[in-house]
Structure 1
Amino acid sequence: MADQTESKKISVNSTISLKGIVKAIFNDTVHVQIGGKIISLPTSDFLLERPRPTQ
């Protein structure tokens, strides 16, 4: 049991993963709802595929 709690420690600069619902995507921000809050994140934090313009 001690090993399990040891691996779940969170500290400053640690990486975590949260599930949320994407509410909007603008040119430079993604708005994600996590629980009752909507947060804005820069698109540079994500690997987003942008549609290619049709010719």
Structure 2
Amino acid sequence: MANQSDKKDISINSSVSLKGIVKAIFNDTVHVQIGGKIITLPKADFMLDKSMN
């Protein structure tokens, strides 16, 4: 019987670029339409320029 300790871990670190239409921005979330779906993303996920006043 083969030994299970020969398990190999695979790690992937990548990003995906998607284009969508911003439908709404609330206090800490952004609602984006991609295709026919609207998804909610935390505003912290976006690199926003905080120097704008």
Q: In percent, how many aligned pairs have the same letter?
A: 74
- Match in the other structure for 1:7: none
Q: Look up the SS of the partner of 2:41 in the other structure.
A: strand
Q: Which has the higher helix share?
A: 1
Distance in 2, matches of 1:18 and 1:29, equals 17
Q: Look up the SS of the partner of 2:23 in the other structure.
A: strand
Equivalent residue pairs, number: 42
Alignment deviations for residues 7-48 of structure 1 (CA, whole Å, 9 cap, x no partner): xxxx85421100000000001000000000000000000123
Gaps of 5+ in 2: 1-10
The answer to whether structure 1 residue 27 and structure 2 residue 27 are counterparts is yes
Distance in 1, matches of 2:34 and 2:40, equals 11
TM-score of the pair, normalised by structure 1: 0.62
- Match in the other structure for 1:6: none
- Match in the other structure for 2:8: none
- Match in the other structure for 2:44: 44
- Match in the other structure for 1:17: 17
